[in-house]
A = this chain, B = another copy of it.
Amino acid sequence: MTNHVNFDVPERILLGPGPSMVHPRVLRALSQPVIGHLDPLFLAIMSDVQKLLRFVFQTENQLTIPVSGTGSAGMEAALCNFIEPGDEVIIGVNGYFGGRMRDMAERYGATVRRLERAWGDVFSPEEIEQELKKKPAKLVCLVHAETSTGALQQIEEIVKITHKHGALFLMDCVTSLGGVPVMVDSWGVDIAYSGTQKCLSCPPGLAPLTVNERARQVLHNRKTPVKNWYLDLTMIEHYWGDTRTYHHTAPISMNYALLEALKMVQEEGLEARFARHRRHAEMLWDGLEELGLKLHVPINHRLPSLTTVLIPEGVNDKEIRNRLLTEYNIEIAGGLGAFAGKVWRVGLMGYSSRRENLTLLLAALKILLK
């Protein structure tokens, strides 16, 4: 048996929609020895992860955990625990991930009322209120930062309206948490979820989730059992709560990585981190426009962590992305769904959001688009 690793991967410059680059400290944490999922030391690590997740979500919510799956598992956990057959659910669809929420909600028997907007647009408080006035709903679901379009949704006013009409507000903050302000408690968001591999710069594999007391009451007052066993919060809340009752074996190593990534967020400070994401995004936007490229989302609701660039007429999408990867070691992404072949998606998230990375990308694009 050889004693060296049998395959190697290069250190890519990851400037796509996630995963973002992972700091060496986080990779070192990931490779610490595995201990048992009920070891007192691991229980302490779980508590530390929860404390720091509350910090990045800006919440006091007791039920704040990393779901043991990637971001989409977080989305499904956020939906399946609160939906019972026949529930009215309003979902804003202005991109790929709004569409995914609708697909999931329908599988759990929701009557989905879909609000549509062009990809890249955002929703106004007025249109949400109009929909709620037509007919009450149990849940209103919006994507804070649409990874498919690069649009940033204003949340605070819409939460107030949602509550006025007796509904719960659910927020997807997969591409905003840790890179753009996410204020769960002060905005009043009832349920929010994210992924680890975006602005938190941890490998993919966990989905931070937070649920306030109001939503927890709804969970506890369900008339039917949660249809999904693995994501059933009525059981998971005991494993991550005071009794630590075994539910499933937590992904031990991934929790080490998340703890280290969250410590790095805390050390940097949220405000400094948001300012860094904003500063580098603005440099990127200016540079792209200097190259004559057009950005899809207007500046007033443009997301700092993910930028959609229109692919110029006559330019071969895949060829440019292949050459960026093979000649410059840079990953950017193409468009999803309706945007396939039309846009590039450039992410500057977490440890990827560095001046050297955006400068290199701009220099490489300048050469490749000449």
Contacts and interface: CB of A to CB of B under 8 A. Distances in A.
Interface of A: 1-12, 14, 16, 18-19, 21-22, 24-25, 27-42, 45, 48, 68-73, 76, 100, 103-104, 107-108, 195, 197, 203-205, 225-231, 246-254, 256-257, 259-260, 263-264, 267-268, 325, 331, 333, 336
A204 B33 contact: no
Given A1-B264, A34-B197, A70-B248, 12 more contacts: A6-B29, A7-B48, A9-B35, A16-B36, A22-B34, A27-B33, A28-B31, A68-B69, A76-B228, A107-B226, A204-B251, A230-B231
A138 to B, nearest CB: 19
Each complex incorporates copies of this chain amounting to 2
Nearest to A251: B205
Given A6-B263, A72-B229, A76-B229, A22 B33 contact: yes
Contacts of A24: 3
Contacts of A19: 34-37, 249, 252
Contacts of A259: 6-7
Contacts of A33: 9-12, 21-22, 27
A5 B18 contact: no
Given A203-B253, A229-B103, A31 B34 contact: no
A248 B231 CA distance: 16
Contacts of A45: 7, 9
A333 to B, nearest CB: 8
Given A22-B34, A32-B9, A45-B7, A203 B260 contact: no
15 contacts: A2-B267, A7-B259, A12-B33, A19-B37, A30-B31, A30-B253, A34-B204, A35-B331, A40-B325, A72-B249, A73-B230, A76-B229, A108-B227, A197-B249, A228-B228
Contacts of A226: 107
A10 B34 CA distance: 9
A73 B195 CA distance: 18
Contacts of A48: 7
A12 B29 contact: no
